[in-house]
Amino acid sequence: MSKILLLSQSIFEASTDYLCKWLLYHNTRFERFNGEDLFTLNSLTELPQDQDIDLVWYRRRINKFPNVDYSFRKQHVSNAFTLRNFLNSEFKALYFYILEKIDIKKYVNDPFVFNNINKLRVIQLAEKNGLITPMTEVVTTRAAVQNLVEKYEQIIIKPLSEVIYLEDENYQHYNMLTKIINVKNINYVPLHFFPSLVQEAIEKKMEIRIFYLYGQFYSMAIYSQNNKNTKQDFRNYDHRRPNRTVPYKIPDELENKLSILMQELGFNMGSIDMILTPEGKYVFLEINPEGQFGMVSHPCNYYLERELALTFINKISYEK
C-alpha cells in the first residue's frame, strides 16, 4: 500500500501541519518524521525504511535540539562553540543517513542539491535560460564596492548562502536583511572584508513570489514599494501596515523559462523571487527549494497545502 514520507520539524511548521490534515482528509497513508524524533531513537530500525515509502517530501530538518543531557558537560569543557559544531555534525551525519538510504527517485526535490544550492550557480543557469538577472559580483574591498557604486549608483548586499537568524545573550533575534550601499554610506564599508555577494539595486514596481509545483505556477504580487519599511526588503515586515498582496499571473514565456531552470536544478517544487520593474521587465532574483508557500497560499486563496496533498496522492497512484 502506497505511503508518503514527510521529513520536517516538530514545531513552527504550519505548512506541514496543514498538509498532514489534507492527507488525513483524503485517507492517504503517510509518515511524518521530524528531526527531533532522532533524540528518542534507540535503533536504526526505527528510521523510515526505503521499501515502505513511495514518495518523500523533504521540508526541513529540525527547529532546535531538545534539552537533553550531554555527559561531556560535566567535564568542565569551556569551548562551547566547538562542541556545538561537533553536535551539529553528529546530527547531520545521522540525518543524512536517512536521506541516503531512500531511493533518490522518490524525492520531490533532490535533497542533496536542496542542501547545497548555490546562488551564484543558480544566477548563471538563469542567465543561460534567457532570464534577466541583476549584475552580480563577489567583492572583498571598499575600492571594489566604490567602483560598482559609481557605475550603478546603488548596490545591495546579501548572503551568498542562506539567511540565518542571529541571537544575543538575552535571546533576542535579529534578521539578516538586504541592505543598500550608495555614496552616502559607503564610508561605513570596511577597507577589507569577508568575500560578500553584491548585486545591482533594481528599481521595483512590485515584488513577485512564485510557488512552483510540478509545472504549475502560483504567483503573488507584493506591493512592497508603498511602505518605507519594506521598500528594500519585503521581509522587513510591517505588521501594523502590511503590504497589499494579490494573486498574479506571470507571462507564459516566463513560466517556460522558469520551468526549464527548475528542471535543470532537479526541483519539482520551490519558491521563486522576482522583481517587476517600472518598465515592465521581470528580473529573476533567487530560488528557495524549501518553498515558503504559506505566505502565498492564504492571501491568494490558492490552498496550496491541499494542492500539495492532491499532487502527492496523484503521483503515488500513477507510479503504482
- The whole-angstrom separation of Cα 271 and Cα 117 is 13
Task: Give the Cβ contact number of residue 202 at 10 Å.
Answer: 18
pLDDT tens track for 136-195? 999 999 999 999 999 998 999 988 887 666 666 666 666 666 788 999 999 999 999 999
Q: What pLDDT does 292 receive?
A: 77
Whole-prediction pTM value? 0.87
Beta pairing partners, 31: 5
Contact at 8 Å (CB) between 215 and 263?
Answer: no
Q: What pLDDT does 67 receive?
A: 80
What are φ and ψ of residue 72, in 5° steps?
Answer: -70, -15
Q: What pLDDT does 239 receive?
A: 55
The full 3-state SS of 116-176, as one line of letters, equals CCCHHHHHHHHHHCCCECCCEEEEEEHHHHHHHHHHHCCEEEECCCCCCEEECCCCCEEEC
- The whole-angstrom separation of Cα 261 and Cα 105 is 19
pLDDT tens track for 235-269? 555 456 566 899 999 999 999 999 999 999 989 99
Instruction: Name the stretches of the chain with pLDDT < 50.
Output: 238
Strands annotated E in 49-115: 55-58
SS3 83: helix
236 CB contacts (<8 Å, ≥6 apart)?
A: 175, 177, 229, 230
